[in-house]
A and B are shown apart, each in its own frame.
Chain A
Amino acid sequence: EAQVTQNPRYLITVTGKKLTVTCSQNMNHEYMSWYRQDPGLGLRQIYYSMNVEVTDKGDVPEGYKVSRKEKRNFPLILESPSPNQTSLYFCASSLISKGADGYTFGSGTRLTVV
């Protein structure tokens, strides 16, 4: 089944403790993105990648890092999480640039930073 897999689904952590949210897709997509979803703010892009070793900032990149060492994986790294990073995170991938073929989203990771 074609899918984007995120792990973990739920995570509670403390301020300052580094964490990684993994994202893997099995569709050989070149384009991948991370979004965060907050009530009343919709979906905002954090980082995107257009191919292996090609990443760039989205709309709200502060406090986040990403890497793209393999085509299928696009982890999101929070080096020193803070409470304002409490959010619902989605990884997405597409075959065509800018999601013209439709983005496939993962099921989300709900992160709480206390």
Chain B
Amino acid sequence: QQQVKQSPQSLIVQKGGIPIINCAYENTAFDYFPWYQQFPGKGPALLIAIRPDVSEKKEGRFTISFNKSAKQFSLHIMDSQPGDSATYFCAAPWGGGADGLTFGKGTHLIIQP
């Protein structure tokens, strides 16, 4: 049972544009929300994460915006570059005593030169 729903499935943006990837969650007990970045042939790697007590977090050109009332969080990439082309996953930790993360289905992002 998927607990985070991610959109869009794919996205093409011109260099310098601001791609936005959205995630909606169901369980209000999540205590942090990470984004992972995956390049072809590699495993996912943590990009940035946010806790639900803040509305925004920036790390370099990457920003997470969090809307608690709407149960949504989104990833924005400022001044996007071709090197940002990758698959991006939002995620949330499993509730209760289970360990691990539940992931969104992923967004395949292409930044055109």
Contacts and interface: CB of A to CB of B under 8 A. Distances in A.
B4 to A, nearest CB: 9
B104 A42 contact: yes
B102 interface: yes
Contacts of A102: 34, 45-46, 49
A103 B43 CA distance: 10
Given A45-B100, A58-B100, A105 B44 contact: yes
A97 interface: yes
A40 B101 CA distance: 17
Contact of B43 (A41, A45, A98, A107): A107
Interface residues of B, number: 25
A42 B5 CA distance: 11
Contacts of B32: 100
Interface stretch (B57-65, B75-83, B91-99): B91-99
Most interface-central of A48, A56, A97, A103 (chain B CB within 10 A): A103
Interface of A: 4, 31, 33, 35, 40-45, 48-50, 56, 58-59, 90, 92, 97-100, 102-103, 105-108
